[in-house]
Structure 1
Amino acid sequence: MIRPVPRALALTLGVLAGAAQLVLATPASAASSTYYVDCSAATNGSGTQASPLNSMPAANAVALTAGDSVLFKRGTTCEGQLYAHYSGTVNSPVTYGSYGTGAAAHIDANGNYAAVWLKNASYVTVQDLELTAPGDNTTARRGVWAQAVDSGDLTGVTLQRLDIHDVRGVLPAKTGGSAASGKYAGASGGIVVEGLGTTTPSAFKGLRIADNTIHTVDRAGIYFWSNWCRRADLVGFWTSLCTAAWHPHSGTVVEDNTLTDIGGDGLVVKTSSDVLVQRNDLDGFNERAGSVNAGMWTANSDYVTFQYNRSAHGNTTADGQGYDVDHSTNHVTFQYNVSHDNDGGFFLLCPYGADVPGQSKDFVIRYNLSVNDHARTFQVCGGGLVRGQIYDNTIQLPDDANHLIVTEGATKDGALDVAFTNNLVRGASSSTSALWTLNDSAFRIDHNLISGAPVPPTATATVTAAPLLAAPSTTSSDPDDFTLLAGSPALGAGTAIAGNGGRDFFGTAPASPPSIGFHEGN
Structure 2
Amino acid sequence: MKMHLIIFAALLSLCQLAACKEDEPRAPQGGPEEVSYPHRYYIDPENGSYYNTGHSPSQAWESVDRILERSWKAGDTILIKRGTVYNGSLTLRGSGSAEAPIVLGSYGDESLPLPEIAGGGSYEAILIRNVQYWELQDLRITNKGEAPRPKIAGIRIEADNIEGGVMNHIHIRRCEIADVYGTKTHHNEGGGSGIFYYNVIGGPNPSSFHDLVVEECRLTDCQRDGLTGYLSTGDRSLRKANTGFVFRRNVFEGIPGDQIIVNGCDDALVEYNIVRNCAPGDFADESVPNRMEAAAALWCIHSDGTVFRYNTVQDHKATWDGQAFDVDQNCRNTLFEYNISYNNTGGWLMLCPSDVAFDRNFVSQEGTVVRYNVSINDGTRDYVKGNGQTLSSTIDVVGRVGGCHFYNNTVIKTRSAATHADNTAITFDSYTNIEGSLVFTNNIFYNTTGTANPFTKVGTGEFIDDRGLILRNNCICGYQEGTIPGSGGHNVGTILTDPKFVRLVEEFTASNNLVDKEQILAGLQLAAGSPCIGAGAEIADEPVFPLTTDFWGERIGNARNIGAYNH
The two structures have a TM-score, normalised by structure 2, of 0.78
Q: Is the 8 A contact 1:426 1:467 kept in 2?
A: yes
Tell me what 1:242 maps to. Answer: none
Q: Tell me the SS of whatever aligns to 1:142.
A: strand
Tell me what 1:492 maps to. Answer: 534
Q: Is the 8 A contact 2:117 2:141 kept in 1?
A: yes
**1:203-214 alignment runs, 5 A limit:** 203-214=208-219
Tell me what 1:33 maps to. Answer: 39
Does residue 501 of structure 2 align to residue 472 of structure 1? no
Tell me what 1:181 maps to. Answer: 190
Tell me what 1:125 maps to. Answer: 135
In structure 1, C-alpha distance between the alignment counterparts of 2:313 and 2:435, rounded to whole Å: 28
- In structure 2, relative to structure 1, the CA distance for the partners of 1:411 and 1:156 (3 Å cut) is closer
Largest Rg, 1 or 2:
2
Shift of 1:43: 4.8
Pick from 289, 292, 301 the counterpart of residue 294 of structure 2. 292
In structure 2, C-alpha distance between the alignment counterparts of 1:229 and 1:299, rounded to whole Å: 9
Does residue 240 of structure 2 align to residue 247 of structure 1? yes
Deviations along 1:127-146, one digit per CA (max 9) or x if unpaired, are 00011011322333212111
Deviations along 1:209-256, one digit per CA (max 9) or x if unpaired, are 100000000121111222253215xxxxxxxxxxxx211211111100
**1:266-285 alignment runs, 5 A limit:** 266-285=259-278
Q: Is the 8 A contact 1:202 1:228 kept in 2?
A: no
Q: Is the 8 A contact 2:316 2:344 kept in 1?
A: yes
Pick from 327, 330, 335 the counterpart of residue 329 of structure 2. 327
Shift of 1:317: 4.8
Structure 2: which 5+ runs fail to align? Answer: 1-36, 284-292, 380-391, 509-514
Q: Is the 8 A contact 2:256 2:316 kept in 1?
A: no
Q: Is the 8 A contact 2:51 2:61 kept in 1?
A: yes
Shift of 1:471: 1.5
What amino acid is the match of 1:447? N
Shift of 1:511: 4.2
In structure 1, C-alpha distance between the alignment counterparts of 2:558 and 2:533, rounded to whole Å: 11
Does residue 468 of structure 2 align to residue 442 of structure 1? yes
In structure 2, C-alpha distance between the alignment counterparts of 1:429 and 1:274, rounded to whole Å: 39
Q: How many residues align?
A: 469
What amino acid is the match of 1:138? R
Does residue 404 of structure 2 align to residue 388 of structure 1? yes
Shift of 1:62: 3.1
Tell me what 2:484 maps to. Answer: 456
In structure 1, C-alpha distance between the alignment counterparts of 2:71 and 2:240, rounded to whole Å: 31
Shift of 1:402: 4.4
- In structure 2, relative to structure 1, the CA distance for the partners of 1:410 and 1:510 (3 Å cut) is farther
In structure 2, C-alpha distance between the alignment counterparts of 1:133 and 1:415, rounded to whole Å: 50
The structure with more strand, counted as a fraction of residues: 1
Does residue 413 of structure 2 align to residue 397 of structure 1? yes
In structure 2, C-alpha distance between the alignment counterparts of 1:396 and 1:203, rounded to whole Å: 41
What root-mean-square deviation, in Å, do the aligned CA atoms of Structure 1 and Structure 2 show?
2.2
Tell me what 2:395 maps to. Answer: 378
Tell me what 2:561 maps to. Answer: 515
Q: Tell me the SS of whatever aligns to 1:376.
A: coil
Shift of 1:196: 2.5
Q: Is the 8 A contact 1:229 1:247 kept in 2?
A: no
Does residue 105 of structure 2 align to residue 97 of structure 1? yes
Pick from 60, 67, 76 the counterpart of residue 52 of structure 1. 60
Q: Is the 8 A contact 2:559 2:566 kept in 1?
A: no
What amino acid is the match of 2:212? L
Shift of 1:109: 1.0
Tell me what 1:72 maps to. Answer: 80
Tell me what 1:502 maps to. Answer: 548
Deviations along 1:67-119, one digit per CA (max 9) or x if unpaired, are 11111110000111122222112221100001111221111012322222112
Pick from 435, 450, 466 the counterpart of residue 430 of structure 1. 450
In structure 2, C-alpha distance between the alignment counterparts of 1:520 and 1:248, rounded to whole Å: 36
Pick from 154, 157, 168 the counterpart of residue 170 of structure 2. 157
Q: Tell me the SS of whatever aligns to 1:164.
A: strand
In structure 1, C-alpha distance between the alignment counterparts of 2:436 and 2:279, rounded to whole Å: 28
Structure 1: which 5+ runs fail to align? Answer: 1-30, 183-187, 233-244
In structure 2, C-alpha distance between the alignment counterparts of 1:393 and 1:316, rounded to whole Å: 24
Does residue 525 of structure 2 align to residue 483 of structure 1? yes
- In structure 2, relative to structure 1, the CA distance for the partners of 1:316 and 1:65 (3 Å cut) is closer
- In structure 2, relative to structure 1, the CA distance for the partners of 1:268 and 1:355 (3 Å cut) is closer
Shift of 1:453: 2.3
What amino acid is the match of 1:490? C
Q: Tell me the SS of whatever aligns to 1:287.
A: coil
In structure 2, C-alpha distance between the alignment counterparts of 1:431 and 1:488, rounded to whole Å: 25
Q: Is the 8 A contact 1:398 1:431 kept in 2?
A: no
Identity of aligned residues (%): 27
In structure 2, C-alpha distance between the alignment counterparts of 1:504 and 1:254, rounded to whole Å: 23
Q: Which moved more, 1:388-397 or 1:481-490?
A: 481-490
Q: Which moved more, 1:329-338 or 1:498-507?
A: 498-507
Does residue 137 of structure 2 align to residue 108 of structure 1? no
Tell me what 1:144 maps to. Answer: 155
What amino acid is the match of 1:250? T
Shift of 1:289: 4.2
What amino acid is the match of 1:189? S
Shift of 1:32: 5.2
In structure 2, C-alpha distance between the alignment counterparts of 1:351 and 1:61, rounded to whole Å: 47
Q: Is the 8 A contact 1:32 1:65 kept in 2?
A: no
Pick from 426, 437, 440 the counterpart of residue 420 of structure 1. 440
Does residue 433 of structure 2 align to residue 407 of structure 1? no
In structure 2, C-alpha distance between the alignment counterparts of 1:370 and 1:134, rounded to whole Å: 35
